[in-house]
Protein backbone atom coordinates (compact mmCIF):
# COMPACT_ATOMS: atom_id res chain seq x y z
CA UNK A 1 0.00 0.00 0.00
CA UNK A 2 2.76 2.41 0.94
CA UNK A 3 4.80 1.57 -2.19
CA UNK A 4 1.86 2.16 -4.54
CA UNK A 5 1.13 5.51 -2.93
CA UNK A 6 4.76 6.53 -3.33
CA UNK A 7 4.64 5.45 -6.98
CA UNK A 8 1.57 7.58 -7.66
CA UNK A 9 3.14 10.50 -5.83
CA UNK A 10 6.41 10.32 -7.82
CA UNK A 11 4.56 10.06 -11.13
CA UNK A 12 2.51 13.13 -10.23
CA UNK A 13 5.65 15.02 -9.23
CA UNK A 14 7.45 14.15 -12.48
CA UNK A 15 4.44 15.28 -14.52
CA UNK A 16 4.35 18.60 -12.67
CA UNK A 17 8.07 19.10 -13.18
CA UNK A 18 7.75 18.31 -16.89
CA UNK A 19 5.01 20.94 -17.08
CA UNK A 20 7.36 23.73 -15.98
CA UNK A 21 10.63 22.44 -17.48
CA UNK A 22 9.31 21.89 -21.03
CA UNK A 23 8.28 25.55 -21.59
CA UNK A 24 11.76 26.60 -20.43
CA UNK A 25 13.56 24.25 -22.84
CA UNK A 26 11.43 24.89 -25.94
CA UNK A 27 12.56 28.51 -26.58
CA UNK A 28 16.15 27.30 -26.13
CA UNK A 29 15.69 24.81 -28.99
CA UNK A 30 15.57 21.64 -26.87
CA UNK A 31 12.96 19.07 -25.95
CA UNK A 32 12.60 17.18 -22.70
CA UNK A 33 12.97 13.50 -23.59
CA UNK A 34 12.81 12.11 -20.08
CA UNK A 35 13.07 13.14 -16.45
CA UNK A 36 13.93 11.07 -13.39
CA UNK A 37 14.04 11.86 -9.70
CA UNK A 38 16.46 9.50 -7.97
CA UNK A 39 16.17 9.42 -4.19
CA UNK A 40 19.48 9.03 -2.37
CA UNK A 41 19.99 6.94 0.79
CA UNK A 42 20.64 8.52 4.15
CA UNK A 43 18.63 11.66 3.49
CA UNK A 44 21.09 13.02 0.91
CA UNK A 45 19.77 15.41 -1.74
CA UNK A 46 17.92 13.70 -4.59
CA UNK A 47 19.31 13.66 -8.13
CA UNK A 48 17.15 15.17 -10.88
CA UNK A 49 18.19 13.68 -14.23
CA UNK A 50 17.02 15.65 -17.27
CA UNK A 51 17.49 14.02 -20.68
CA UNK A 52 17.34 16.43 -23.61
CA UNK A 53 17.50 16.44 -27.39
CA UNK A 54 17.20 19.06 -30.11
CA UNK A 55 13.62 19.96 -30.98
CA UNK A 56 14.21 19.07 -34.63
CA UNK A 57 16.53 16.11 -34.03
CA UNK A 58 14.99 13.98 -36.77
CA UNK A 59 15.65 16.71 -39.36
CA UNK A 60 19.18 17.53 -38.29
CA UNK A 61 22.57 15.83 -38.35
CA UNK A 62 23.66 17.82 -35.27
CA UNK A 63 24.68 15.92 -32.17
CA UNK A 64 24.23 17.09 -28.61
CA UNK A 65 27.46 18.15 -26.99
CA UNK A 66 28.59 19.12 -23.52
CA UNK A 67 27.96 22.77 -24.40
CA UNK A 68 24.27 21.97 -24.96
CA UNK A 69 24.04 20.34 -21.53
CA UNK A 70 25.75 23.36 -19.96
CA UNK A 71 23.33 25.73 -21.74
CA UNK A 72 20.33 23.80 -20.44
CA UNK A 73 21.86 23.57 -16.96
CA UNK A 74 22.13 27.38 -16.81
CA UNK A 75 18.63 27.87 -18.21
CA UNK A 76 17.09 25.49 -15.70
CA UNK A 77 19.04 27.03 -12.81
CA UNK A 78 17.15 30.28 -13.39
CA UNK A 79 13.85 28.35 -13.45
CA UNK A 80 14.68 26.59 -10.18
CA UNK A 81 14.93 29.98 -8.42
CA UNK A 82 11.33 30.89 -9.26
CA UNK A 83 8.46 30.62 -6.79
CA UNK A 84 6.52 28.56 -9.39
CA UNK A 85 9.17 25.86 -9.33
CA UNK A 86 9.71 25.97 -5.56
CA UNK A 87 5.97 25.43 -5.05
CA UNK A 88 6.31 22.14 -6.94
CA UNK A 89 9.68 21.00 -5.63
CA UNK A 90 10.87 22.82 -2.50
CA UNK A 91 13.52 20.24 -1.57
CA UNK A 92 17.23 20.13 -2.29
CA UNK A 93 18.50 18.23 -5.33
CA UNK A 94 21.45 17.86 -7.67
CA UNK A 95 20.80 18.43 -11.39
CA UNK A 96 22.24 16.17 -14.10
CA UNK A 97 21.63 17.09 -17.76
CA UNK A 98 22.52 14.63 -20.51
CA UNK A 99 21.58 13.31 -23.93
CA UNK A 100 19.14 10.38 -24.15
CA UNK A 101 21.86 7.91 -25.19
CA UNK A 102 21.50 4.89 -27.47
CA UNK A 103 18.68 3.44 -25.35
CA UNK A 104 16.67 6.65 -25.69
CA UNK A 105 13.23 6.51 -24.10
CA UNK A 106 10.24 6.84 -26.44
CA UNK A 107 7.28 8.58 -24.82
CA UNK A 108 5.30 10.45 -27.45
CA UNK A 109 3.85 9.77 -30.90
CA UNK A 110 6.51 12.11 -32.31
CA UNK A 111 9.23 9.99 -30.72
CA UNK A 112 7.81 6.79 -32.20
CA UNK A 113 7.27 8.16 -35.71
CA UNK A 114 10.80 9.59 -35.75
CA UNK A 115 12.25 6.12 -35.14
CA UNK A 116 10.20 3.90 -37.46
CA UNK A 117 12.37 1.07 -38.80
CA UNK A 118 14.48 0.84 -35.65
CA UNK A 119 14.55 -1.83 -32.96
CA UNK A 120 12.66 -1.01 -29.78
CA UNK A 121 11.90 -2.61 -26.44
CA UNK A 122 8.41 -2.10 -25.04
CA UNK A 123 7.04 -3.07 -21.64
CA UNK A 124 3.27 -2.95 -21.10
CA UNK A 125 1.38 -2.50 -17.85
CA UNK A 126 -0.19 -5.95 -18.27
CA UNK A 127 -0.36 -8.80 -20.75
CA UNK A 128 -2.32 -7.79 -23.86
CA UNK A 129 -5.15 -9.79 -25.41
CA UNK A 130 -5.62 -10.87 -29.02
CA UNK A 131 -7.87 -7.91 -29.81
CA UNK A 132 -5.39 -5.38 -28.44
CA UNK A 133 -2.50 -7.00 -30.28
CA UNK A 134 -4.63 -7.36 -33.44
CA UNK A 135 -2.99 -10.77 -33.86
CA UNK A 136 -4.80 -13.78 -32.36
CA UNK A 137 -2.09 -16.27 -33.40
CA UNK A 138 0.60 -14.28 -31.61
CA UNK A 139 -1.59 -13.79 -28.52
CA UNK A 140 -2.30 -17.53 -28.28
CA UNK A 141 1.39 -18.35 -28.41
CA UNK A 142 2.38 -15.60 -25.97
CA UNK A 143 -0.55 -15.30 -23.51
CA UNK A 144 1.27 -13.56 -20.65
CA UNK A 145 3.76 -11.42 -22.52
CA UNK A 146 4.41 -7.91 -21.25
CA UNK A 147 7.87 -7.36 -22.77
CA UNK A 148 8.22 -6.95 -26.52
CA UNK A 149 11.33 -6.46 -28.64
CA UNK A 150 10.92 -5.81 -32.33
CA UNK A 151 11.16 -3.41 -35.24
CA UNK A 152 8.94 -0.34 -35.03
CA UNK A 153 6.74 -0.51 -38.15
CA UNK A 154 4.35 2.41 -37.67
CA UNK A 155 2.72 4.65 -35.06
CA UNK A 156 -0.22 6.98 -34.62
CA UNK A 157 -1.78 8.75 -31.63
CA UNK A 158 -3.38 5.56 -30.33
CA UNK A 159 -1.18 2.65 -31.41
CA UNK A 160 2.29 1.53 -32.32
CA UNK A 161 2.97 -1.49 -34.56
CA UNK A 162 5.93 -3.80 -33.98
CA UNK A 163 7.34 -6.59 -36.08
CA UNK A 164 8.27 -9.21 -33.47
CA UNK A 165 10.09 -12.00 -35.29
CA UNK A 166 7.81 -12.66 -38.26
CA UNK A 167 4.62 -11.48 -36.53
CA UNK A 168 3.24 -7.94 -36.55
CA UNK A 169 1.43 -6.79 -33.41
CA UNK A 170 -0.21 -3.54 -32.37
CA UNK A 171 0.22 -2.06 -28.91
CA UNK A 172 -2.02 0.70 -27.53
CA UNK A 173 0.11 3.65 -26.41
CA UNK A 174 -2.05 3.91 -23.28
CA UNK A 175 -0.82 0.44 -22.25
CA UNK A 176 2.90 1.22 -22.63
CA UNK A 177 4.67 1.41 -19.28
CA UNK A 178 8.06 2.05 -20.90
CA UNK A 179 9.54 2.03 -24.39
CA UNK A 180 13.17 2.46 -25.41
CA UNK A 181 15.25 2.29 -28.54
CA UNK A 182 17.27 -0.91 -28.77
CA UNK A 183 20.10 0.29 -30.99
CA UNK A 184 22.43 -2.41 -29.70
CA UNK A 185 20.10 -4.93 -31.35
CA UNK A 186 20.19 -2.93 -34.59
CA UNK A 187 23.99 -3.06 -34.58
CA UNK A 188 23.94 -6.84 -34.13
CA UNK A 189 21.47 -7.48 -36.97
CA UNK A 190 23.03 -8.90 -40.14
CA UNK A 191 23.21 -6.64 -43.15
CA UNK A 192 20.15 -6.85 -45.42
CA UNK A 193 22.14 -6.67 -48.60
CA UNK A 194 21.72 -2.93 -49.07
CA UNK A 195 24.82 -0.84 -48.95
CA UNK A 196 25.40 2.85 -48.50
CA UNK A 197 27.06 5.13 -51.04
The confidence score (pLDDT) of residue 58 equals 44
Give the pLDDT score at 60: 54
User: What is the per-residue DSSP string for 95-160?
Assistant: EEEE---TT-B--SHHHHHHTTTSEEEEEESSPPPHHHHT-HHHHHH-TT--EEEEEEEEE-SSEE
Cα–Cα distances in angstroms (integers) from residue 175 to residues 99, 101, 124, 126, in the given order:
26, 24, 5, 8
User: What pLDDT does 185 receive?
Assistant: 67
pLDDT at 174: 95
For the chain of 197 residues, list the mean pLDDT of each consecutive stretch of 10: 37 86 94 91 89 72 85 95 93 92 89 94 96 95 95 96 96 96 71 41
pLDDT at 195: 33
Q: No. of H helices and E strands in the chain?
A: 7, 8
**pLDDT attached to residue 66:** 93
109-188: CATH homologous superfamily? Ribosome maturation factor RimP, C-terminal domain (2.30.30.180)
Please report the pLDDT score of residue 191 as a whole number: 52
For the chain, domain boundaries: 2-98, 109-188
95 DSSP β-pair partners? 48
Q: pLDDT value at position 44?
A: 84
- The architecture CATH gives domain 2-98: 2-Layer Sandwich (3.30)
pTM (2 decimals)? 0.71
Amino acid sequence: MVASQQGKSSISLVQKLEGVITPTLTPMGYELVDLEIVRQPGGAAAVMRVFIDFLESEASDAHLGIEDCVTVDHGLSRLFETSEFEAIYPGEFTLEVSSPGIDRRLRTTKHFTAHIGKSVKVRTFRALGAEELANSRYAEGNPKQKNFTGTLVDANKELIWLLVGSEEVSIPQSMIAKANLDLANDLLRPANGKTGK
